[in-house]
Structure 1
Amino acid sequence: MDLPTVAIVGRPNVGKSTLFNRLVGRKLALVDDRPGVTRDRREGDVQFGGLSFRVIDTAGLEEADDDTLTGRMRMQTEAAILAADVVLFVIDARAGVLPADQPFAELVRRSGVPVILIANKAEGGAIAGAYEAFSLGLGDPIPFSAEHGEGLGELHEALKTTLPEPDPDAEDEDGPEGRPLRVAIVGRPNAGKSTLINRMLGEERLLVGPEAGITRDSISLDWAWRGRRIKLHDTAGMRRRARIDDKLEKLAVSDGLRAVRFAEVVVVLLDATIPFEKQDLTIVDLVESEGRALVIGLNKWDLVADQPGLLKTLREDCTRLLPQVRGVSVVPLSGLAGDGVDRLMQAVVQAAEVWDRRVSTSRINDWLSEATSRNPPPAVSGRRIKIRYATQVKSRPPHFALFGNQLNALPKSYTRYLVNGLREAFDLPGTPIRLSLRTSQNPFDKG
């Protein structure tokens, strides 16, 4: 069972390892008054008031050349930040904010990973330094004592609202048949989502009708396709916020957003008679921003199947209108007649495999060398941007990190070139691709 990841970061000797031990419930990490005891990342699984996650203890962040031990420790910590779902940024509440905290707070902000600010060593009301933490721009600090367990309730509440939401119906179902693949069906009202799921199940399990907006709750249903266990989620139709007045509908749409967040694959169902409406594109944007695998279903295809060349035209429209998910599968189907369901599920399983794909670092850097030779990065103020090194930091969706100099000056057109190149070179059609730019030297580059 995949657990979300929480990375504990901060400068040396602020109590990161003590916090790690407090969360894990055992003294797995060495703790000492001297700074710099932790060097390698240490991981532990946490059960915390109904929350389950993997926590990573990291080395203290310090400025240093990449070739030094301290520099390599810092790069390990940077990699942990990139791979995390949530970062706990720890400062010393008694010492307050020091100059060394500022550059690393900036590093965490740039990563885009959600941050919870911990003002540690605040036992006995020693929180004067906590107020200085507002200057870091990381939100409200939580006064905390890892040594004495003070502030655990506030930390639990912060994690509860920040961690990716688990499937409320999920259990650790790993077994001979494997864990079920979580698939959410989303789309505008009256696109035929419930009708399609009823056809998949072979029974009228969900209420359907000509009226838009019948479904309110996000419904979770177990199903099997070709022996593969699937957990299907039917969701309420998603309209533009400005057109939602009813409180119940607002709650239903919010429930649908939750279904997208804990799904692995999202099927965006379009009405083939009026496809690619503005709201359809907005929903695809949401799925891409949440980093879910994506398949587009053209429902009610039986009503337009007599139009020659329509499918080719719609696939071309998809490529033009949705370049951020270039190559996404577009599957014609009819939920009412049951046509195309098998093709849809083949596309769903394939999308999940692409979403989970990992590429070796050596293959990525061979590609990078060729891509930058063919189309070198531009020069800034007379100095050419250099990309030295690349690696994949996580999957689900594929997330790559580039290391080099002046990368923050790379134009968007060049990052699009790199993303499209990664998509084509490593067969990643239709899936969201994340690209982090880190201005740092390649640890293997001695030149």
Structure 2
Amino acid sequence: MSFTLAIVGRPNVGKSTLFNRLVGKRLALVDDQPGVTRDLREGEARLGELRFTVIDTAGLEEATDESLQGRMRKLTERAVEMADACLFMIDARAGVLPADEIFADILRRKSAQVILGANKAEGRAGEGGYVEAWSLGLGDPIALSAEHGEGMFDLLQVLRPLVEAKGAEAAIIEEAAPETDVDVNEDDEADTSVRMPTADRPMQIAVVGRPNAGKSTLINKLLGEDRLLTGPEAGITRDAISLPFDWEGMPVRIFDTAGMRKKAKVQEKLERLSVADGLRAVKFAEVVVVLLDAAIPFEQQDLRIADLAEREGRAVVVAVNKWDVEDHKQEKLKELKESFERLLPQLRGAPLVTVSAKTGRGLDRLREAVERAYTVWNRRVTTAQLNRWLTGMLESHPPPAPGGRRIRLRYATQVKTRPPGFVVMCSYPDKLPESYKRYLVNGLRDAFDMPGTPIRLHFRGQGDKNPYKDRKKSKPSRLRKHLGKPSPKE
């Protein structure tokens, strides 16, 4: 097991900034507004020769009820219990506040190893707060500047004996695979098998949808624990949190994303950052689960989100949540399927499953749909099969002849997977109408069992094969001129 360090403290003391510095990426959202972080975010930290797991937590609040702040505090306290050590951060420029003293007392009881860090200690403005930190009775404070990287060597010196005591495994100097290690251009002509997810390279799934559709509740049910913050309030999730788990034998890393509202309604900078973080998760995912609310499915924003996933070339599964409160299930399901085919023709045949994140019903069907969508997304068709298919399509419905010139489709080949991409060599590719392109794409779906997955079909010209096209006109011979006979080309 890796050594785990939880970063805790009041809101806006710089926890997420330090987290980003330790993991070497801008994974956590950072803003001047306090209370940006709400969920627990884990990352693989690098500090000198040390490698360990770091947890970014929500700012500690004094609320202990079932309010949003109270639930955030419970989640942070859970992280403290999970971690091997806690880095308790205060704002050196603000000094030690009464809330800091309360939380310091809580940490003494809950965690055996507490490291005290006085952040924002650069310059003279932080000297007073750094001196005050001694009064908390948590040992020698470390003067830090998460933004500028000051104090990292002192933090390394404190962490080294703790990490080494945990075990040599945590201190192995190896380059960890990035969390979003998705090679969307991975392609090997000789390999027709589907790359199955492994523990080192799990399947990456992003759950997206409008606010309050139940994304975090669904992921908590899949994990079997309350790992993500949930509640009746819309827009609780802000960061795109990624969590690894084993989904009935299938290694998975699942991304919980912030709810995406219409662009016109997104006014605050923080919400724009949250949505951008969610869009980034979609770009790096392999399978995107678009979660709808059964009470108001296929709203305009749902359609935009599903279309975005298709344009990004991701395998798409549409899941309708809150199915447990639906009274007329058969009539509703028929209506959903009709709306899906009518409103999202570009995803024709994509899986549509009904689930209940609250009760867990339908999650087995969701897993089957995700695995099938992933398999189709990785599918490869041999060139021989493609050209037999192309011959049949041309015989059934030949391409048009704009301006009297017949468009000839000579042969087809698959150039990539993830999603499947094909190239057809033809004459006059720019004159081929969109309707005929759709005819071929739909034919590919039906012939090779690729429902719902994005298909990229490109047409390339081979040039004119007429050997006399650019040949200069020959001059008539002197003998023909003398005899008055025309040349063969005259």
Which bracket does the TM-score occupy, shorter chain normalised? 0.5 to 0.7
**Which residue identity is paired with 1:316?**
E
- Indicate if the aligned counterparts of 1:388 and 1:442 stay in contact, CA closer than 8 A: no
Offset at 1:325?
Answer: 1.0
2:470 is aligned with 1:439: no
- Indicate if the aligned counterparts of 1:387 and 1:407 stay in contact, CA closer than 8 A: no
Please give the secondary structure, in 1, of the residue aligned with 2:367: helix
| Paired position in structure 1 for 2:413 | 391
2:379 aligned to which of 357, 372, 381: 357
Q: 1:228/1:250 Cα in 2 relative to 1: closer, same or farther (>3 Å)?
A: same
- Indicate if the aligned counterparts of 2:197 and 2:250 stay in contact, CA closer than 8 A: no
Offset at 1:305?
Answer: 4.5
| Paired position in structure 2 for 1:161 | none
- Residue by residue, what CA displacement relative to the aligned partner does 1:409-440 show, whole Å, maximum 9, x if unpaired? 11111100000000110000110000111011
| Paired position in structure 1 for 2:360 | 338
| Paired position in structure 2 for 1:276 | 298
Please give the secondary structure, in 2, of the residue aligned with 1:298: strand
Bigger mean CA offset, 220-229 vs 190-199: 220-229
Q: 1:427/1:167 Cα in 2 relative to 1: closer, same or farther (>3 Å)?
A: farther
1:238 aligned to which of 249, 256, 260: 260
| Paired position in structure 1 for 2:213 | 191
For 1:375 and 1:348, the matched residues in 2 are separated by: 34
**Which residue identity is paired with 1:198?**
N
For 1:408 and 1:337, the matched residues in 2 are separated by: 53
For 1:214 and 1:415, the matched residues in 2 are separated by: 43
Please, which runs of 5 or more residues in structure 2 have no aligned partner?
1-176, 184-195, 466-490
**Where do 1:197-236 residues align within 5 Å?**
197-236=219-258
- Residue by residue, what CA displacement relative to the aligned partner does 1:359-384 show, whole Å, maximum 9, x if unpaired? 00010110001001101100111111
For 1:366 and 1:176, the matched residues in 2 are separated by: 35
Higher Rg: 2
**Which residue identity is paired with 2:262?**
R
For 1:167 and 1:417, the matched residues in 2 are separated by: 40
- Indicate if the aligned counterparts of 1:388 and 1:404 stay in contact, CA closer than 8 A: yes
| Paired position in structure 1 for 2:429 | 407
**Which residue identity is paired with 2:440?**
L
2:291 is aligned with 1:259: no
| Paired position in structure 2 for 1:144 | none
| Paired position in structure 1 for 2:201 | 179
Q: 1:175/1:303 Cα in 2 relative to 1: closer, same or farther (>3 Å)?
A: closer
For 1:399 and 1:442, the matched residues in 2 are separated by: 25
| Paired position in structure 2 for 1:91 | none
2:402 is aligned with 1:380: yes
Offset at 1:228?
Answer: 1.2
For 1:169 and 1:439, the matched residues in 2 are separated by: 36
Please, which runs of 5 or more residues in structure 1 have no aligned partner?
1-165
- Residue by residue, what CA displacement relative to the aligned partner does 1:86-141 show, whole Å, maximum 9, x if unpaired? xxxxxxxxxxxxxxxxxxxxxxxxxxxxxxxxxxxxxxxxxxxxxxxxxxxxxxxx
- Residue by residue, what CA displacement relative to the aligned partner does 1:35-89 show, whole Å, maximum 9, x if unpaired? xxxxxxxxxxxxxxxxxxxxxxxxxxxxxxxxxxxxxxxxxxxxxxxxxxxxxxx
- Residue by residue, what CA displacement relative to the aligned partner does 1:311-366 show, whole Å, maximum 9, x if unpaired? 12211211111111110000000001111111101100110000000000010110
- Runs (4+) of structure 1 exceeding 4 A deviation are 169-172, 174-178
Q: 1:321/1:228 Cα in 2 relative to 1: closer, same or farther (>3 Å)?
A: same
Of all paired residues, the percent bearing the same amino acid is 57
For 2:239 and 2:178, the matched residues in 1 are separated by: 14
Offset at 1:167?
Answer: 5.3
For 2:321 and 2:260, the matched residues in 1 are separated by: 16
Please give the secondary structure, in 2, of the residue aligned with 1:186: strand
For 1:207 and 1:219, the matched residues in 2 are separated by: 11
Offset at 1:168?
Answer: 3.7
2:365 is aligned with 1:328: no
Please give the secondary structure, in 1, of the residue aligned with 2:412: strand
With normalisation by structure 2, the TM-score equals: 0.55
Q: 1:350/1:179 Cα in 2 relative to 1: closer, same or farther (>3 Å)?
A: same
For 2:374 and 2:330, the matched residues in 1 are separated by: 31
- Indicate if the aligned counterparts of 1:388 and 1:403 stay in contact, CA closer than 8 A: yes
For 2:266 and 2:373, the matched residues in 1 are separated by: 32
2:322 aligned to which of 276, 300, 310: 300
Please give the secondary structure, in 1, of the residue aligned with 2:330: coil
**Where do 1:157-172 residues align within 5 Å?**
168=179, 170=181
| Paired position in structure 1 for 2:333 | 311
Offset at 1:210?
Answer: 1.0
With normalisation by structure 1, the TM-score equals: 0.60
**Which residue identity is paired with 1:355?**
W
